[in-house]
Structure 1
C-alpha cells in the first residue's frame, strides 16, 4: 500500500507521541519536529505508510537519543492485559465457537495503540467486540481454511494486545494447529518484541519468530529470509493491525491465505477501501484486493 499525502501528519503525530513518552520539553519538541519536516521531504512517496513511519520514528529516536521511548508503557500495557486475561479466556472457551470469539478478543486488543491514541478502554472494546463482532466478516472462509490447514502464522502487533492474541493461539493449539507468532527484533513504537512475548508467556505456546528488523509491519524486502519464507509457505496468515495490513499486501502471491484482523483507525484508509472509522474487520486478502480495484 502506497503512502498518501494525509500520512504525513501521522508521521509527526507519532513523533510527538514518542517525545511525550520520555518527557521532552515543548521547546525541544519544536526543534525535533522542524528537523523531521526536512527529513520527511526525502521519503519515497511510493513506499508504504508503515515503512515511511518507521524511518521517521527511527530518526526521532536518533535525535532524542532514546532506543525505546515506549519501554515502560509497553510494560504497563502487558500488565493491564494480563489482569484481564483469565476472565477473557474463560469467556472465550465457554462459548459454542471459541475460535470466533478468540478472534473478537484479539481484534479488541488492537485498541492498544500508543502511537496515535494514548487513551483507550480495553474493557469497553472487549464488550463491544463480543456483542457486535465484525463489520466485515470473512470468518467462515477463515474457519474452513484453518480446518484444512496445519501451519498458521500470526503477525503480531502491539504489546498488551499480544495477551489477547495468546488466547487465540491457545484455541488454535487445542484444534491441533502449529502456530508461529511474529514479533519485532528491535523496539519500534509499542510493537511487541521477543521480550514482550516472553513476558506474557507467548513463547510457551507458540513458535515465536522475530522479523530480523525493528520497523513497523512486515515489508517483504526488509524482513529476514526466515520470516519471508514462513509467510510464503504457511497455510494461513492472520495479520494483526494496520502496519501489517499496509505491508503484507506486498506478498501478492499468497493473499488468498491472508486474513487481516484490525480495528480501522485511519479515516483515509477507511475511505480508500470502503470501511468505516472504528470498524472491526476480519477480511481475506483477495477481498481487500477487490476493494482496491472497485
Structure 2
C-alpha cells in the first residue's frame, strides 16, 4: 500500500518513540533524527511503500543505537494487558462460541499495536469499547467454507499481546481439522511477535512456528527469505492479521490465494484504502 500525507507525522512519531526507547543519548537522538529527515526528504512521495519506509527507518535506529529490541518492555506490557482481559474474553466465548465471535476476539487483540497508537493512549478503554462492537465487514460464511475445504492454512501473526487472543482463534480453527503454520518475524521490530513471544504464548500447541526471514514492518515481499517464500507459495489458504500485513500483501498478486484479512482499521490511510471507518473491525476476503 502507498502512503498518504498523514503517514509523515506517523513515521516521525514512531521514530521519536523508538529513539526514546533505544537510548538516553540526546546527541545521538539528534543525529539519527537528522538522518531520518534526510531519508524521508528523498523517499517520501506518493509512490512510497509504507512498510519498506518504516522498516528502513527502524533499521537506521537499531544500527546506530545498538538497541536490538527497543519495544521489549512494551511487548511484555502488551501480553499483560491481553492476559488481564483473557478471563472476560473466555466468558464471552462460553456464552457464544460461534466462529464469528472467535474472529471478533482475535481482531480486538489487533488493537494492541504500539505502531498505530502512542505509548500514552488508553488502550484498555479501547478494548473495553471494542468488546461491545460488531464486525463492520464480516465474510464469515466464506471464511468458514475455506476452513472446511482446505486441509492447511498459513496464519500470519502480528503483534505481541494480540497473539494471546490469536491463540483462541487457532484453537477454534483446529476444530475444522486444519493443519496450521504460524508465521512470525525473524528480527524484533516494534512490538511484532517473534518466535520467542510466540513460544511464550504457547502458539506452538496449535501449529508449526516458522520465521519469515526478516524483521520488517508488516509484510515486505522483497525481504522474506527463500525458505519462507516456498511456504507462502505452497499455501493457498492464508489468514493475515493486522494492518502491516495488509499494507504489504495488498501490493502483490494474490489471485491464486484464498486469503482473509483480520484487522482493526486504526488509521485514516488504511480506512480510506479499504473503504471503511476509523476503528472498524474487519474480516474480509481479498
> What's the TM-score once normalised by structure 2's chain length?
0.89
Q: Is the 8 A contact 2:11 2:54 kept in 1?
A: yes
Structure 1 equivalent of residue 244 of structure 2? 243
In the alignment, the residues of structure 1 paired with residue 227 and residue 100 of structure 2 have an alpha-carbon distance, to the nearest angstrom, of 29
How many Å separate the matches in 2 of 1:54 and 1:246? 13
Where in structure 2 are the equivalents of 1:1-294 lying within 5 Å? Answer: 1-22=1-22, 24=24, 29-43=29-43, 45=45, 46-97=47-98, 99-117=99-117, 118-120=119-121, 124-254=125-255, 257-285=258-286
Change (3 A) 1:255 1:241: farther
SS in 2 for 1:76: helix
Kindly state the Cα deviation for residue 48 of structure 1 after the two structures are TM-superposed.
2.2
Q: 1:120 to 1:200 in 2, by over 3 A?
A: farther
Q: Secondary structure at the match of 2:221?
A: coil
Q: Which moved more, 1:141-150 or 1:103-112?
A: 141-150
Is residue 111–residue 120 contact of structure 1 (8 Å, CA) maintained in 2?
no
1:198 and 1:20 mapped to 2: Cα distance?
A: 28
- Give the drift of 1:263: 1.0
What is the DSSP-based 3-state SS (H/G/I as helix, E as strand, rest coil) of the residue aligned with 1:131?
coil
Change (3 A) 1:198 1:24: same
Provide Cα deviations, 1:214-267, integer angstroms capped at 9, x if missing partner. 112222222122322323332421111111001112441346511111111121
> What per-residue deviation string (whole Å, max 9, x for no partner) do you get for residues 33-60 of structure 1?
2221012234375352011100011112
TM-score by length of 1: 0.87
Residue 187 of structure 1 aligns to a residue whose secondary structure is coil
Superposed CA deviations along residues 97-128 of structure 1, whole A, max 9, x for unmatched, are: 1x211111111111111124224556544444
Task: Give the whole-Å Cα distance in 2 for the aligned partners of 1:2 and 1:101.
Answer: 32
Task: Compute the displacement of 1:165 (Å).
Answer: 0.4
Quick check: 1:249–1:255 contact (8 Å CA) kept in 2? no
- Partners of 1:16 and 1:279 in 2: how far apart? 27
Instruction: Give the secondary-structure state (helix, strand or coil) at the position aligned to 1:158.
Output: coil
The alignment of Structure 1 onto Structure 2 pairs a total of residues equal to 284
Unaligned runs of 5+ in 1: 286-294
Moved more, 73-82 or 53-62: 73-82
Match of 1:52, SS state, is: helix
- Alignment RMSD (CA, Å): 2.3
Provide structure 2 residue ranges, at least 5 long, that are not aligned to the other structure. Answer: none
After TM superposition, give the deviation of residue 82 of structure 1 in Å.
2.5
What is the Cα deviation at residue 14 of structure 1?
A: 0.7
Aligned-partner SS, 2:75: helix
